[in-house]
């Protein structure tokens, strides 16, 4: 690490000390302070603080320096009126976990992460350890008492998620990628505790059945060439977890997504291949695609969150798949989802009327399946359909925004993001 990077990390961590002030501030005063910090980083820092910018950055603003106070402000506005200690805990993860990962990863080194060769296992575990310790300490100070064991466990799990998200290649600043999703998960964990597997773990017979069913299906899928070898392995693992933790209803929803998504991929494959828009490997999905689309649903069933969230997550995944596959076949007129201005087909973030309609149909199909499988009520199914559609559209909106502002979403990260957005919207809108 260069001297400038050491200075940058020191300032980054030092700003975390201000999280302690949330012990005395209400959310309005906290938001005012965070807004002032954001204004300072936007208009004053470019004049006097460019020494903290990353080397080689010629733009007026450093994305990380702007994103840090912006995310803190967003956390306060969303959660501050009900849960300022949660904001303080996530702020501590941002302030201390991120520098710990960079310092440990760059000074100690070691084996690289398989999903991100730019980062190391040492950095990942340093991020987790420091994020956990810092979040517990700051949370304890803000609430002015020793937290209960369950609270410490929730922060332990949240810091693990935070460290993992910071290690994922996304195309976005780490502060944006890790902090807000972690806060949402912590918020929902605090209201749906303990997780499903802790409250009612499956019996050994149920585990054996789930394992046997998915091993057989994985072998068959790989042998028939429906998915790649890595996709068969990842799919068997995902199917096992969803069946074991979520039951046959959740497992049926997984198959609804898989079958309809696979049919959409094969639809007009020769024509899409000739145009250069077809899924690689003759449409056979691999492990990366399976994990990107299913990691959020797996987390939802392991935590025992309501079925409406699972339906929205799979609905977003299918909506995104159908929107892409149908849009590339029949979407001759593309436009921006943010400004509705015409765009060339294939432009990042561009959508079309046929593709958008197919997305809505995909989200509705999964919601209907969830209702038939007994996972949701009719009102919750309507929420899941809307949330799934909005989750899929969020990816298009971010890609369009990135095209305009200079960032690009990693494809697999974007697939996981739309399922997460769909699930979170469903949890907020679902009837109680």
Tens of pLDDT, residues 168-221: 888 787 878 899 889 988 988 887 777 766 666 788 999 999 999 999 999 999
**Structural domain spans, the chain:** 3-191, 202-429
C-alpha span between 365 and 54 (Å, rounded): 46
Assessment of whether the complete model's pTM goes beyond 0.75: yes
pLDDT band of 59, cuts 50, 70, 90: low
pLDDT band of 233, cuts 50, 70, 90: very high
Per-residue pLDDT for 58 more than 60?
no
For residue 75, the Cα-to-chain-centroid distance in whole angstroms is 16
Long-range contacts, stretch 60-64, CB < 8 angstroms, 24+ apart: 63/173, 63/407, 64/173, 64/174, 64/175
Find the distance separating the first CA and the last CA of the chain, reported in whole Å: 51
pLDDT band of 56, cuts 50, 70, 90: low
| Residue showing tokens 């298009």 | 396
Residue positions counted in the chain:
432
C-alpha span between 328 and 340 (Å, rounded): 18
Q: At what angle do helices 27-39 and 63-79 cross, to 10 degrees?
A: 160
Q: What is the CA radius of gyration of the chain?
A: 22
Query: Which tens digit of pLDDT belongs to each residue from 261-294?
Result: 989 888 887 776 766 665 666 667 788 889 999 9
Residues 6+ apart with CB under 8 A from 417: 394, 395, 398, 409
Identify the burial level of 24 via C-beta atoms within 10 angstroms of its C-beta, where 0-12 means exposed, 13-18 middle and 19 or more buried: exposed
Per-residue pLDDT for 330 more than 60?
yes
Q: In terms of DSSP H, where are the helices of 304-410?
A: 307-330, 353-372, 378-405
Query: CB–CB of 342/284 below 8 Å?
Result: no
Query: Which tens digit of pLDDT belongs to each residue from 303-327?
Result: 888 899 999 999 999 999 999 888 8
> Average pLDDT, stretch 401-405?
80
> Quick one: pLDDT at residue 198?
61
């Amino acid at each position: 690490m260069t001297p400038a990077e050491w200075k940058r990390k020191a300032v980054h961590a030092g700003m975390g000390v201000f999280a302690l002030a949330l012990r005395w501030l209400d959310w309005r005063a906290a938001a005012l302070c965070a807004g002032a910090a954001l204004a300072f980083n936007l208009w004053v820092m470019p004049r006097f603080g460019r020494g903290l910018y990353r080397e080689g950055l010629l733009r007026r603003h450093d994305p990380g320096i702007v994103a840090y106070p912006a995310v803190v402000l967003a956390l306060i506005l969303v959660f501050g009126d009900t849960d300022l200690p949660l904001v303080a805990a996530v702020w501590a993860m941002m302030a201390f976990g991120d520098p710990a990962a960079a310092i440990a990863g760059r000074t100690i080194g070691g084996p690289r992460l398989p999903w991100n060769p730019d980062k190391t296992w040492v950095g990942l575990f340093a991020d987790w350890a420091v994020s956990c310790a810092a979040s517990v300490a700051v949370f304890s100070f803000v609430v002015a008492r020793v937290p209960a064991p369950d609270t410490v466990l929730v922060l332990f799990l949240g810091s693990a998620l935070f460290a993992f998200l910071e290690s994922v290649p996304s195309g976005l600043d780490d502060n944006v990628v890790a902090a807000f999703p972690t806060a949402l998960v912590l918020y929902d964990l605090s209201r749906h505790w303990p997780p499903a597997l802790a409250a009612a773990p499956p019996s050994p017979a149920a585990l054996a059945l789930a394992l046997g069913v998915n091993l057989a299906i994985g072998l068959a899928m790989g042998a028939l060439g429906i998915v790649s070898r890595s996709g068969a392995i990842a799919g068997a693992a995902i199917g096992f977890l969803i069946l074991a933790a979520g039951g046959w209803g959740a497992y049926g929803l997984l198959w609804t997504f898989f079958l309809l998504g696979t049919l959409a991929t094969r639809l007009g494959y020769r024509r899409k291949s000739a145009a250069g828009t077809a899924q690689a490997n003759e449409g056979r999905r691999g492990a990366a695609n399976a994990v990107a689309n299913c990691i959020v649903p797996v987390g939802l069933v392991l935590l025992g969150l309501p079925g409406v969230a699972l339906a929205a997550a799979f609905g977003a995944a299918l909506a995104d798949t159908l929107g892409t596959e149908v849009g590339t076949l029949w979407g001759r007129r593309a436009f921006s989802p943010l400004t509705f201005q015409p765009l060339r087909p294939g432009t990042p973030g561009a959508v079309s009327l046929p593709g958008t309609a197919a997305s809505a149909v995909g989200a509705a199909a999964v919601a209907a399946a969830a209702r038939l499988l007994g996972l949701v009520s009719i009102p919750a199914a309507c929420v899941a359909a809307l949330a799934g559609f909005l989750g899929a559209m969020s990816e298009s909106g971010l890609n369009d925004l990135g095209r305009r502002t200079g960032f690009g979403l990693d494809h697999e990260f974007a697939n996981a993001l739309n399922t997460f957005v769909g699930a979170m919207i469903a949890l907020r809108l679902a009837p109680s």
